[in-house]
Structure 1
Amino acid sequence: MFIGFLALLIRCRIYRTLKEKVKKPNYLPVPAAIRELEKIEMTRQLDKVYRIDHAVTKIQKVILSAFGMD
């Protein structure tokens, strides 16, 4: 029950942040945003630094910028 409560809090935080930052109504629901973020692949290089495998798409940039990441 506690895990379900935490998941609900995280989902509400994602929903509220996307609603504030993305001004179009119903532009990106939470499940679609999570699916887009799952597509990002990172690899750990030999110098122990994580790097993105592929370029991020426009939608992924919008989601990441809503949370203050570049």
Structure 2
Amino acid sequence: MVFEYELLPANSPLLGLGNVLLTPHIAFLSEESLDECTSVTVDNIRQFLKGSPQNVIDSEVFQ
């Protein structure tokens, strides 16, 4: 979930839920996630240059 404002108001009902974990947008940013993002990007470029693109959203573009 993305909030309109990063800091929720103190009276937000989400803050009182025990089954909800709230994190800022930057929560995904770790050394592991950056390594994985780099690896996927490099693999995508290599496959594209070989003529076999992966993770294609619109396959008609390559036909």
When the two structures are superposed, what TM-score results if normalisation uses the length of structure 2?
Answer: 0.38
Which of structures 1 and 2 has the larger relative contact order (alpha carbons within 8 angstroms, sep 6+)? 1
Task: Answer 1 or 2: which has greater helix percent.
Answer: 1
TM-score by length of 1: 0.35
Higher-Rg structure is: 2
